[in-house]
Structure 1
Amino acid sequence: MPAPLSDEDLMLSYRAGDLPAFRELYRRHSLGLYRFIAWRCPRQAWVDEIVQDAWASLHAARAGYQPQAAFRTYLYQIARHRLIDILRQREALPAADLPAPDGQAEFERLADAAHEGASPEASLEQKQRHALLHAAIRALPGEQREALVLQQFSGMSIEEIGVVTAASAETVKSRLRYAMQKLRARLQNLAGEGASA
């Protein structure tokens, strides 16, 4: 059985007119792209539009595609640029007003599946921990949240995050370090508040 094609090979095939190659790229990356934008976008109503625009832009740019970086970073860059354009055009909500991304529902579903058979108390405790984590992530400054989401939820390397965000590797490392420090502090504070309640 032949090995599956890489994303870059699929994109080259799509550039040549192979529609099933596009379908496979979409299957591989649609959920991850949606989650990335959902975590960064201040209004849930904009997420679908941005993601759809990113795929449409990929389609429009396919003729000039050259595999200079990983396909995923190329796609996420397109989506990120569209998000920035929309944020410039429209008034954004403050970070504290960010809606929970749709990815949270998926995390809750996975947590439920992982804890089937667990006691109701254990399931509730796990859901509460997930809710605290998501609230702490949403409270991070935008650039730190973006780097953290790309690393932890999209599995990108420091270098890939740098390509997507147009930042140096050292800047990405700093953002991740500060994000983790703030997350730890916020979760410790929230845990302390919960214990004293």
Structure 2
Amino acid sequence: MLAQLSDETLMTLYCEGDLLAFKELYSRHSQGLYRFLAWRSPRREWVDEIAQDSWTGLHHARERYRVEAGFRTYLYQIARNRLIDLLRQQQVLLASELGHTANGEDIFERLADDSAEELPPDALLENKQQLAGLYAAVKALPGEQKEALVLQQFSGMSLEEIAQLTGVSVETTKSRLRYAMRKLRQMMAPAVAQEEQA
């Protein structure tokens, strides 16, 4: 029954005290939130802390919750704000630190491991090399472009959700994604050319 309800309906139920609604929300969004934080956090040890703080923050904000934006945008905004607070507390510049990722390798390793049973060893090695190249290329993107790309590709957010979360227009979001994809293609072109020659 709960699985068929929208996130916003579940959050409304949770605001009214329904703990099963919270459990369903956590089940739906905990992994995506963790991936988002892993890509954004400059320090690996912050990811678990911020994820936990985000869910705690959601719990404390439940009395003030109003359905004005999508639930996922609301949750990710709590996490993003907490990360920015930590960066400020540590007097780390946001623009420079967001160029470093925490667990991005683990995401790609998991993708490679998930397909390990189906691939022969030489194909598995090639797949892991491609994933490592992709990870390095994403890591090298400027912070705003990387954020938009990760939110779209790894968190499944729409252009409108990304725009709302990052506080920019949909057109700016589209531009960031377009530039990110162009840079990724440029960075990945040598590897693709090498594969075609092999």
Q: Give yes or no for TM over 0.5.
A: yes
The residue type paired with residue 159 of structure 1 is E
Query: Unmatched 5+ residue regions in structure 2?
Result: none
Report the alpha carbon displacement of residue 84 of structure 1 after superposing the two structures with TM: 1.1
Match of 2:29 in 1: 29
RMSD: 2.4
Match of 1:15 in 2: 15
Match of 1:98 in 2: 100
**Distance in 2, Cα, partners of 1:113 & 1:195:** 25
**Distance in 1, Cα, partners of 2:50 & 2:118:** 39
Give the direction of change, closer, same or farther, for the CA distance of 1:108–1:138 in structure 2 (3 Å limit). same
Report the alpha carbon displacement of residue 155 of structure 1 after superposing the two structures with TM: 1.1
Matched, 1:175 2:176: yes
**Distance in 2, Cα, partners of 1:147 & 1:96:** 12
The residue type paired with residue 35 of structure 2 is R
Report the alpha carbon displacement of residue 20 of structure 1 after superposing the two structures with TM: 1.3
Match of 2:71 in 1: 71
SS at structure 2 position matched to 1:126: helix
Contact persistence 2:108–2:135 (CA under 8 A): no
More off after superposition, 112-121 vs 134-143: 112-121
SS at structure 2 position matched to 1:154: coil
| Identity level (%) | 60
SS at structure 1 position matched to 2:4: coil
Report the alpha carbon displacement of residue 187 of structure 1 after superposing the two structures with TM: 1.1
Which runs of at least 4 in structure 1 moved beyond 3 Å after TM superposition? 91-97, 189-196
Contact persistence 2:43–2:102 (CA under 8 A): no
Match of 1:84 in 2: 84
The size of the alignment, in residue pairs, is 195
**Distance in 2, Cα, partners of 1:175 & 1:7:** 27
Contact persistence 2:32–2:155 (CA under 8 A): yes
Matched, 1:140 2:141: yes
The residue type paired with residue 129 of structure 2 is Q
SS at structure 2 position matched to 1:17: coil
Contact persistence 2:163–2:170 (CA under 8 A): yes
Query: Unmatched 5+ residue regions in structure 1?
Result: none
**Distance in 2, Cα, partners of 1:68 & 1:97:** 31
**Distance in 1, Cα, partners of 2:2 & 2:190:** 52
Report the alpha carbon displacement of residue 97 of structure 1 after superposing the two structures with TM: 7.3
**TM-score with structure 2 length normalisation?**
0.89
**TM-score with structure 1 length normalisation?**
0.89
